[in-house]
A and B are shown apart, each in its own frame.
Chain A
Amino acid sequence: MNDLMALPLSFLQSLGFVGQLILILLKIVVVFVVTLLHVAYATYWERKVIAHMQLRLGPREVGPYGLFQPFADGIKLFFKEDIIPATSDKPIFYLAPVIFFVSALTSLAVLPFFDGFVVADINVGLLFLLAMSSLGAYGIVMSGWSSGSKYSFLGGLRSASQVISYEISMGLSLVGVMIMSGSLNLSEIVRAQHATVLGIYALPQLLGFFVFMVAMFAETNRLPFDLPEAESELVAGYFTEYSGFRFAMFFLGEYTGMLIMSSTATLCFLGGWTIPGFVTNMLPFLHYVPGIVWFLGKVYCFMFFFYWIRATLPRYRYDQLMAIGWKLLIPIALANIVITGTLKIMGWI
């Protein structure tokens, strides 16, 4: 795969600045299209998995096994009437879903999908991811504020406090990874992981991994932490007043966020596109499997985990959510940093 791409890539690079620009645009188009297709089918698989976990069948009517269901949903949302509440704050109301969706998509730029394939190979990739996921919260807060509805307002407020609480523990949980790899560039983190004996950081960074997993659910507003859109209390939370394509943007943004969080977990804790060295030593033919297969396989596992948790757990109470964030996750993450830092200074890792 890499050999096939090497020739046109080197040709484009030989064109200088224009070639670089075309190359980046091509990468962006590929990443964008592939991600949106993944998002479309993430909704399908979510419905299928949860349905079967509840002894139901899930979508079956549109196309074979209901495989065209995401497109039917998309077309329906696209042609639906766009209702704007009279009491809403119009410019902010228009802007909020765009901010949410764009910030989710922008994070894709720094994710290395396989060795060397990353749109923007910047040295603060991890920080950029955290920044973008916080920016997405602005979309939620703004939509809640501008809708002119008590449900949206409460959903927005909840989201603001939840994201602030869990952003801290998420950032702290990744500090251990930064200490161990010595870099914030996601490709470098993966390479540093591959160089270790175990090949993944999930085991030496078990505490950090655990904190990240829990914070991941809170960051993406998924069950059991979907307080901002708790349908039994707040109708639909911050996007109660949205319809048609504006709603679809929130929806797509949420699923893109899930994909990005899964990718981040894969890159930082499970070795990204690599598999541990001792596995390839035992089974040498695995060298020929392209890295994207491992990467996507790991991401799908995380996505399945999202669905699995949603099918199993009920929603936490609000004070429980805050207690988990501040009293459990942050102390664990801090302890993890102390332990990892000490070991690093002692030169044991």
Chain B
Amino acid sequence: MKNSLITTIFFSEILKGMALTFKTLFVRPVTRRYPKVKPVVAPGYRGLHALAKDENGKMKCVGCGLCGAYCPSQCIHIYTAEGEDNKKIVERYEIDVLRCVFCGFCVEACPFGAISLSEHYEYSNYSRESFYMTKEKLLDNWDKYFPGEKGKRYYQDFWRPMSEDFKAHEGQAMFSKVPDSIKAGGKK
């Protein structure tokens, strides 16, 4: 009680608070001046989709449909047709970005590294149509957001396709093999 009387008389609690605010005055603000100063995204960021092109500028996608089969929100639509020499051609490859949850399963599923998620995140728009990605738009995204060596490095470092090697690269964003504990639990 004696202590509280002293603290009341000398406003020690108020003074403590004022010391804190005064100290904070000289601390660097945490504000991010977003539209002016863009944040640097973490490596392996999962942003807008793009369809990869090979060295000749041709689409890598073969239309196997694994990405669409894996997609948990079922937002990938692939339509293939038979071309000359009985070759399979991808007629339409469409992603409804507004349904996508950016889990990255499609990239993991793809055996050829044909679909990728870019580091681009500023694609807000006024119309829903602009979020419906067609094949042409997705190929455009590759040119826009993976210029030069960037695309190669991107999937070398983060989304190396299984067709190249099956060993997980250190730091690779993929699910490890099923742990034994879960396997044991599944058997019961």
What is the interface of chain A, defined by CB distance below 8 A to chain B?
49, 51-57, 60, 308-309, 311-313
Contact = CB atoms under 8 A, between A and B. Distances in A.
B22 A60 contact: no
Contact of A55 (B14, B17, B29): B29
Interface string B11-45: 00010011011101111011101000000000000
A54 B30 CA distance: 9
Contacts of A56: 29-31
Given A308-B18, A312-B18, A54 B24 contact: yes
Given A55-B30, A60-B33, 13 more contacts: A52-B24, A52-B25, A53-B21, A53-B22, A55-B24, A55-B27, A55-B29, A56-B30, A309-B18, A311-B21, A312-B17, A312-B21, A313-B14
6 contacts: A52-B25, A54-B24, A57-B31, A308-B18, A312-B20, A312-B21
Interface of B: 14, 17-18, 20-22, 24-27, 29-31, 33
A53 B25 contact: yes
Nearest to A314: B17
Contacts of A309: 18
Of all A-B residue pairs in the complex, the 4 with the closest CB atoms, nearest first, are A57-B31, A53-B21, A312-B21, A312-B17
A57 B20 CA distance: 18
Given A308-B21, A312-B14, A312-B17, A52 B29 contact: yes
Nearest to A310: B21
Contacts of A313: 14, 17
A52 B29 CA distance: 7
B31 to A, nearest CB: 5
Nearest to A49: B25
A43 to B, nearest CB: 18
Contacts of B27: 55
Contacts of A53: 21-22, 24-25
B29 A51 contact: yes
A304 to B, nearest CB: 10
Contacts of A54: 24
Contacts of B29: 51-52, 55-57
Contacts of B14: 312-313
Contacts of A57: 29, 31, 33
A308 B18 CA distance: 7
Contacts of B30: 55-56
A237 B29 CA distance: 32
Contacts of B25: 49, 52-53
Contacts of A52: 24-26, 29
Nearest to B31: A57
B117 to A, nearest CB: 32
Contacts of A51: 29
